[in-house]
Structure 1
Amino acid sequence: MKVDIWSDTRCPFCFIGKKNFEKALQKFSQHDQVEVNWHSFQLDSKMKTDLSRNHYEYLSDIKGYSLQQTIQMHENLIQIGKNAGINFNFDEVKVSNSFKSQMLVQLAKEKGNAGEMEELLFEAYFIHGKNIDDVEVLSEIGEKLGFTKEEIQNAAESPELTILVNNDISEAASLGINSVPFFVFDRKYAISGAQPSHLFSEVLEKSWTEFSENNTKLDIINEGDSCDVDGNNC
C-alpha cells in the first residue's frame, strides 16, 4: 500500500502531522507493506529569506497582528507540538524560503530516506533555528544521512531536482491540495491536516481493507489544522 504525503519543511503542522502519522504507522500490523512517498510543497514560493526576523515577527508583518497577539496565537500550537514530542522554538526560527530544502528531500527519495531528511529539516528549522535556505546548513544536515557536501551542493543547484519539486507542487494543484500536511492513502482516501494518531490508524486500516482500483476520487476523511497557501495558521 502506498501513502503519499505533501509537506512543506517550514510548516509546523506538517511536523506534527508527520509525528502522529508515524506513531500510527508503527502500530499498524502491515506497516512493512506500506510505502511512504514524500512530496514537495511550498506555502509561499515568493517568500524571501530574512534572517533579521523570527517566525513571530514574520507572521505579525504579513497578517497585521501585533507581536503579542501572534505569540499568544501560538500557545496552543506549542502545546500540540509537545503532545506530539516536538519542542517548538519559534523565538529562534529563521525566516527561510524552503525550496532548496525541498530539493534535498527529492535527493533523499533516491536513496529511500526522504522521511529521515524531512525530520532533520524540521528539527533544524523549528528547534535549532537554522536557515534551511543556506547550502552550508543543508550540507550539515545531508551529511548526517551519508551524503557528501558535494552531493548537497550539486543538489541545491540541480535542474533535475528543481523539476521534481515543481512536479510535486503541480500534482498537488491538480488534486486540489492547497494546504498541508496532506496525506493520500492509495489514491483512495485522504487526510488533511495534523490529525491525531488514532485517525491515521483508522484510515490505514480502512485503506488496507477497502481499497478500490477503479475509484480515483479522493474521499477526504477529515480536515484538521494545517497551513494553507493564503498564509492561514503559518
Structure 2
Amino acid sequence: MKIEIWSDVMCPFCYIGKRRFEEALVQFENRDQVEIEWKSFQLNPDMKTDPSVNITQYLADVKGWTLEYAREMNSHVTQMAAEVGLTYNFDTAVVANSFNAHRFSHLAKQHGLGDTAEEALFNAYFTRGLNIDDNDTLVQLGTEIGLDAEEIKQTLSSDTFAADVKHDIIEAQELGIRGVPFFVVNNKYGISGAQAVPVFTQTIETAFNEWQQENPKPSLTIIEGESCTPDGDCG
C-alpha cells in the first residue's frame, strides 16, 4: 500500500508530522507492506535566500509581527517539536528558498533514499542551522546519507528534477492540497496537518484493510512433483 507525503523542508509542522506518522507506522504490524513516497510542496516559492537573516526576524518582517511575538510563536512550536523528540533552533535557522532542496530530495528518491534525505534536510534546517539552498551544504548532506558527491553537484548545476518538483506541486493543487504536511493514504484518504498519532494509526489500518481486499494474495492449487528446496532437500 502506498502513502504519499507532501511537505516543505521549511515547514515546522511537517517535521513534527513526520515523527507522529513514524510512531503510528511503528505500531502498525503490516508496515513492511507500506511504501512511502515524499512529494514536493513550496510554501513560499518566491522566498529569496538570505543567510544574513534568521527565520524569526524574517517572520516578524513579513507578517508585521514584533520580534518578541515571533519568538513567542516559535517557542510554542519548539515545545511541540520537543514533545516528539525534536530540537528546533529557530534563532539559527537560515532563510532559504527550498526549490533546490526539493530537487536534491528527488535525486535521493531515485536512489531509494527519499525518506533519509527528508530527515537530513529537516534536521539541517531546524536543528543544525544550515543553508538548505547552498550547493556545498547539499553535497555535504548527500554524502552523509550515501549519495555520490559528483552526482549531486551535476544535479544542482543543471535543472535536473526541476520538472519533477513542479509536477508534485501541480499534483498537489489538483488534489486540493492547500497546506502541508498532507498525507495521501492508498490514494483514498487524505490527512491534513501534523495530526495526533491515533489519527494516523486508524487511517492506515482502515486503508490497509481495504487495500488487502482490493489486492488479495494469489491462492494457488499446487500439483506436487520432484523438486528441491533451499535447505538442500531434493526429492
TM-score by length of 1: 0.88
Q: Distance in 2 between matches of 1:45 and 1:130?
A: 19
The RMSD of aligned alpha carbons is 1.5
Q: Distance in 1 between matches of 2:183 and 2:83?
A: 20
Native 8 Å contact 2:182 2:190 kept in 1 = yes
Task: Give 1:118's aligned residue.
Answer: 118
Q: Distance in 1 between matches of 2:156 and 2:26?
A: 32
- Structure 1 spans left out of the alignment, 5+ residues: 215-234
- Cα deviation digits, residues 158-185 of structure 1 (max 9, x gap): 4340110110011001111110000000
Task: Give 1:135's aligned residue.
Answer: 135
Task: Give 1:76's aligned residue.
Answer: 76
Native 8 Å contact 1:10 1:125 kept in 2 = yes
Q: Distance in 2 between matches of 1:128 and 1:82?
A: 15
How far is 1:84 from its partner?
A: 1.1
Task: Give 2:196's aligned residue.
Answer: 196
Q: Distance in 2 between matches of 1:212 and 1:176?
A: 27
Task: Give 1:219's aligned residue.
Answer: none
- Cα deviation digits, residues 18-71 of structure 1 (max 9, x gap): 111011111101100000010011111110001111111000011000000111
Task: Give 1:24's aligned residue.
Answer: 24
- Give the greater-gyration-radius structure (CA): 2
How far is 1:212 from its partner?
A: 9.9
**What's the secondary structure of 1:180's corresponding residue?**
coil
Which AA in structure 1 matches 2:37? N
Which AA in structure 2 matches 1:97? N
Q: Summarize the alignment of residues 80-229 of structure 1 with structure 2, pairs less than 5 Å apart.
A: 80-211=80-211
Residue 5 (1) aligns with residue 5 (2):
yes
**What's the secondary structure of 2:164's corresponding residue?**
helix
Q: Distance in 1 between matches of 2:193 and 2:199?
A: 11
**What's the secondary structure of 1:45's corresponding residue?**
coil
Which AA in structure 1 matches 2:204? L
Which AA in structure 2 matches 1:80? M
Question: How many residue pairs end up in the alignment?
Answer: 214
- Cα deviation digits, residues 71-111 of structure 1 (max 9, x gap): 11222211110011111000100001111110111011111
Q: Distance in 2 between matches of 1:173 and 1:211?
A: 25
Q: Distance in 1 between matches of 2:187 and 2:24?
A: 19
Percent identity between matched residues is: 44
Task: Give 2:63's aligned residue.
Answer: 63
TM-score by length of 2: 0.88
Native 8 Å contact 2:103 2:160 kept in 1 = no
Q: Distance in 1 between matches of 2:154 and 2:164?
A: 15
Task: Give 2:36's aligned residue.
Answer: 36
How far is 1:211 from its partner?
A: 4.7
